[in-house]
Amino acid sequence: MSAGLLGPEPDGEGGPVYRPLAEMNVTPFVDVMLVLLIVFMVTAPMLAAGVKLDLPRARNAAPLDAKAPASVSITADGRVFIDGAESADDALEARFAAMAAADATRAVHLRADRTAPHGRVVDVMSRMGAAGLSKIAIVAEPGRSPAPALVAPSGAP
């Protein structure tokens, strides 16, 4: 009766002869890999940083360049975030001036919620221009834009 490669087998003198196991046990390796896979699947969505906005769609929106631009976001209620950190209204000029002093040629992506007041977006853009930031890109989601609503001129029936 021989145990083969699974453990000791008696030799001719009655003592066990130990042979090395020739098989690698991959079960612990697979267990660890599955746990790591689950951890990465759970944490990956949390890595996407940014302010949640409902961006408008534009037919000719192009992908952004690979250089890391500054990001200015305007929420639906008019709050302004610079690179993900909220900025007070009275500190915007100083923050934009510091950005321009660091690199005036750096692109700035302006992301405004679809329902943000137009006046607020124009105000933030004019503050960026006054601070010396000249490369301002308005970010929109690629896709089909909704058809514009036709408005009758005042006094028309």
Q: What is the pLDDT of residues 86-125, one digit of tens each?
A: 888 888 888 888 888 887 777 888 888 888 888 888 888 8
Domain check: are 84 and 24 in the same one? no
Q: Is residue 2 part of a domain?
A: no
At residue 139, does pLDDT exceed 80? yes
Domain check: are 74 and 97 in the same one? yes
pLDDT tens digits, residue range 12-60?
A: 666 667 766 677 788 989 999 999 999 988 888 777 666 777 777 877 7
Domain, as residue range, for 29: 8-46
How many domains, the chain? 2
Q: Is residue 15 part of a domain?
A: yes
Q: Is residue 156 part of a domain?
A: no
Domain check: are 137 and 76 in the same one? yes
Contact predicate 45/51, CB 8 Å: no
Domain check: are 137 and 61 in the same one? yes
